[in-house]
Amino acid sequence: MNSKPVNYNPYRQARYVISAHKLKQLPDDSGMEVAFAGRSNAGKSSAINRLTDQKSLARTSKTPGRTQQIVIFDIDEHRRIADLPGYGYAKVPAKLKAHWRSVLQQYFIRRSCLRGVVLVMDIRHPLRPFDEDMLNWCESSGVPCHVLLTKADKLKRGPAQATLLKVRKSLPVGATAQVFSAKSRDGLLELIRHLNAWYDIDPGEPK
């Protein structure tokens, strides 16, 4: 990963493009796409909003499972963020859960522009069954995975670091992890550097 200072944030220019219920509704399978995935209430939308420095780009809600489509945000004409549905244990119909399980499996298999997955977990409740499913899909599809342990401001530094080390030991080979807080911005630069590497963005050159 590039260790240079981050002199600008290319993700501030992200803009909403489309909400897709089926894979065929997604933009052309070209360029570079990074997916954000996470259990309901893990802080995925807040993480995207902090990354893009936009308060309401990704919808946040106290109702679990609000995101029930693949939401696409353009960073530029070649790079995109895909906000994947995060139902987890949300109270959504079993038929809808089955639909999205099938769609996401096909997404990982067929989406050749996918450069990596940011898997968002609440640092207080990591590695739940949904998280394990996502890690398995990434590993079996050969897609790089970076775990974002969100809401780190809810824990003191010692317990947060202990959880980080425990999660890292449990990850498949090649997967990485970090702590993050949308509220305090802790871990934001590390996330930007990681995404820059996936997107082949030079951290020192503004667009």
CATH number at residue 173: 3.40.50.300
**Cβ atoms of 199 and 165 closer than 8 Å:** no
Residue 205 counted as domain residue: no
Give the pLDDT of residue 68: 74
Question: From CA 168, how far away is CA 76, in angstroms rounded?
Answer: 32
Give the pLDDT of residue 196: 96
pLDDT digits (tens, 9 = 90+) for 4-34: 455 689 999 999 999 998 999 999 999 999 9
Residue 19 counted as domain residue: yes
Mean of pLDDT over the chain: 89
Residue 206 counted as domain residue: no
Residue 4 counted as domain residue: no
User: What total number of domains does the chain contain?
Assistant: 1
Residue 181 counted as domain residue: yes
Amino acid at 48: I
More confident residue, 57 or 67: 57
Give the pLDDT of residue 104: 87
CA distances from 35 to 85, 108, 153 (A): 10, 10, 24
Residue 44 counted as domain residue: yes
Q: Is the pLDDT of residue 205 over 60?
A: no
pLDDT digits (tens, 9 = 90+) for 65-110: 445 789 999 999 999 999 998 766 456 677 877 888 888 889 999 9
What is the side-by-side order of every strand in the sheet holding 32-38? 15-20, 70-74, 79-83, 32-38, 114-122, 145-150, 176-179
Which of 13-17, 76-80, 128-132, 156-160 is predicted with the least confidence, judged by mean pLDDT?
128-132
156 is in which domain, residue-wise? 10-199
